[in-house]
Amino acid sequence: MLVTGGAASGKSAVILVLGDSLSAEYGLPRETGWVRLLADRLASEAAQYSVVNASISGETTSGGRTRLPKLLDEHRPAVVVLQLGANDGLRGLPPTSMRENLAAMSEASRKAGARVLLVGMRIPPNYGREYAERFAGVFAQLARDGKLALVPFLLDGFADDLAYFQSDRIHPNERAQPRMLENVWPTLAPLLRAKSR
């Protein structure tokens, strides 16, 4: 688990990132992923935030839901970034279950006093158009119903360009990480300026 900034001293508010391999630096040199770049950006702007990266490769929304209560209790985050769902889709799990898990995590985060950012994903078309549309629709519907901040698609702008992916053609490479941060930042930044509910 990556902790950057002032979390250890307790002097800065915490951004908790709960994600899968896309946030866990899978296949990348250490400290080059978009979450680390986020921490570096916050530090350069002297923002009073530290970043806790609780992402695990292979994580599903079910696994994240199980782990979240302890993470909320331990870190007491001001902002929770939920970047989960890709592995649910790749395993063909029901979108209704994914939605239920994400909704439960967002509600638990809010009850703990955190603002929530939902990061959307899409799956390859070979899973079938109907399933792909239902999968992608979960994020938009949940954001709308729960009035959550939403990044529509973490890989927006380069998902079809293999130059931004590792040899497995699934995981973004080091070159893609700044673009992932730029997809997240415009929606995250207002949450950092907002007061807790």
State how far the Cα of 123 lies from the Cα of 154, in Å rounded to an integer.
12
pLDDT tens per residue across span 132-164: 999 999 999 999 999 999 999 999 999 999 999
pLDDT of residue 85: 98
Is 75 annotated as catalytic? Answer: no
Instruction: Name the catalytic one among 9, 44, 73, 168.
Output: 168
Question: What does the pLDDT read at residue 28?
Answer: 98
Question: 158: closest CA among 195, 193, 183, 139?
Answer: 183
| DSSP, residue by residue, 149-164 | EEES-TTTTTTT-GGG
Q: Which sequence spans correspond to the domains of the chain?
A: 2-193
Catalytic residue among 40, 57, 156, 171: 171
> For 52-95, what is each residue's pLDDT tens digit?
999 999 999 999 999 999 999 999 999 999 999 999 999 999 99
With b for 16 or more beta-carbon neighbours within 10 A and e for fewer, the 62-84 pattern comes to bbbbeebeebbeebebbbbbbbb
- Who contacts 2 (Cβ-Cβ below 8 Å, separation ≥6)? 31, 35, 36, 39, 51, 52, 53
Q: Is 21 labeled as catalytic in the residue annotation?
A: yes
Please pick, among 21, 23, 50, 109, the residue that the annotation labels catalytic. 21
| CATH class (in words) of the domain with range 2-193 | alpha beta
Report pTM: 0.94
Of the pLDDT bands very low, low, confident and very high (cuts 50, 70, 90), residue 127 is confident
Q: Does the active-site annotation cover 171?
A: yes
pLDDT of 197 over the 80 cut: no
- CB of 72 closer than 8 Å to CB of 34: no
Give burial (CB, 10 Å; 0-12/13-18/19+) of 141. middle
